[in-house]
Amino acid sequence: MADVPGGAPPASRETVPQLEQRFETEAAAVIASKGDRAAWEDLRLRWIGRKQGIVRSLLGLTGEVPAADRPAYGQAVNSLKEKVEARLAELDATLTEREREAVRRRASVDVTLPGRRPGLGTLHPVTLVNRDMAKIFAEIGFSVAEGPEIEDDFHNFEALNFPHDHPARDTQDTFFMADGKLLLRTHTSPVQIRTMLSRKPPIRVICPGRVFRFDNDLRHSPMFHQVECLAVAEGITVGDLKGTLEAFLTRLFSPDTKIRLRPSFFPFTEPSAEVDVTCQFCKGKGCAVCSGSGWMEILGCGMVDPRVLSKCGIDPERYSGFAFGMGVDRVAMIRYGIPNIRLLFENDERLLRQVNG
């Protein structure tokens, strides 16, 4: 076999068989390296790399070989190239199998290890607040009433004294079905209507459930939860409404919570009011959350409009009532310091663990 010309790598004169032997030695080192893929790549680049590979350098020196020896020299270098490529392919297959075996071992189950306890779910903040509300109202004589989430115009708007041109009836505020006759309820007040249509006074119920509106920002969601309260009986006054609110809100938040009523308007109550409570973050001192006022708006309330009672077959001359409603999600955000309403619906177990300690 012809000698490699002096300029070929390595610097010392080596015959092609000697180069083959050196390559085998280096290939064996790769195998001994416990399947180091980086070592295999380094070997490949050093021997058959396009820029500085030993085989390519040998082919580039063909012109320095005497003309009579060139055929034999070229044949020897090509043979070396074929052997190197074949051996590298074998090494690649060996390393690939080792890598797959390593993955299989990592994925396998050691039956001798002790079992892993499955992660147990915890109660959602909205569920916790809903249960607390139901417990408080049960103690003062209220039962729970439920109704369908898909409603018709009568129960959701008409019976609640909404005028036909009220903005809530607009498709920009309400999710209507394709036929326009049914809709996703925008509040749980339709449950109050169904209750008054099916029962005779005295009535004392709360109506929890999901409601749906076109609203989506940091403090609003297209789907959220409400709890509404309804009491209808003889002789109910605004004083009963305020007393119920104080009893409920001081239990829900803290005994030192104060409330105030501000005049407002709702189609289904007259008179109507917005209810504020002492800011639960600064305890009335004023902070960024309450814009320095010391108060937080928490719910809307009022005396049931006589026209609503009449549409439900209840004599407004004999009976009166009050109603109020609040967003459960907002209460959960206040109670647990949740800054973004979307966190309530992202199924993040970290939030549940924080809430449940």
> How do residues 55-72 score in pLDDT, each as one tens digit?
777 777 777 777 887 787
> How do residues 179-220 score in pLDDT, each as one tens digit?
778 999 999 999 999 999 999 999 999 999 999 988 766 666
> How do residues 293-342 score in pLDDT, each as one tens digit?
999 899 999 999 999 999 999 999 999 999 999 999 889 888 888 877 78
User: If DSSP codes are grouped into helix, strand and coil, which group holds residue 168?
Assistant: helix
- What is the model's pLDDT at position 172? 67
Return the residue matching tokens 């609503």: 308
DSSP 102-161: HHHHHHS--TTSPPPPPPPP---HHHHHHHHHHHHHHHTT-EE----SEEEHHHHTGGGT
- Please provide the average confidence, as pLDDT, over all residues in the chain: 84
Higher pLDDT, 357 or 179: 179
**For residues 264-275, average pLDDT:** 94
Rounded to two decimals, what is the model's pTM? 0.64
**For residues 33-38, average pLDDT:** 68
- What is the model's pLDDT at position 355? 79
Closest residue by Cα to residue 136 from 326, 319, 285, 357: 326
Higher pLDDT, 260 or 73: 260
